[in-house]
Structure 1
């Protein structure tokens, strides 16, 4: 999905892009035991982790999380820790 970074990404935008009703999308994800937005958050966290591991992001963690659609840095840090078992700061190489 090309617009994972879009902080206004929501089920309405996804359903419009896929030409499916929101309820159809919700049902498909529910069959996998997942919510649509839960999947979006998971994908964003995965991409952020990849950037941190590669060392390709040269800014702050707050800038990185905002670039991937997280508006609250503390919420991002908690979600990252829940998903990967460590805070993002352990992977971050701050600019020199």
Structure 2
């Protein structure tokens, strides 16, 4: 932590707004991903490629508040925040594609 950031207080209100906004967008993307990976949108043989892209985007928006924590003044190392955000993106994508997309 740099000396300039040592006196910086966490902006909790901005973190809550960032989380709410990004999770709403992630929910919309998850619905689109579910529809694009199901038989509803693709006919008899669903194409999972579009669904994977939308699930990955949903994962990015779920992980966005975690990656933004150091910028919002929280005492989290930037590398740890990015590592946690990366794991969240992978987890959301895998769970969405292999668990939530049912043929």
Q: TM-score range by the shorter chain?
A: 0.3 to 0.5
> TM-score, structure 1 length as denominator?
0.36
- Could you say which structure has the larger radius of gyration? 2
Structure with more helix by fraction: 2
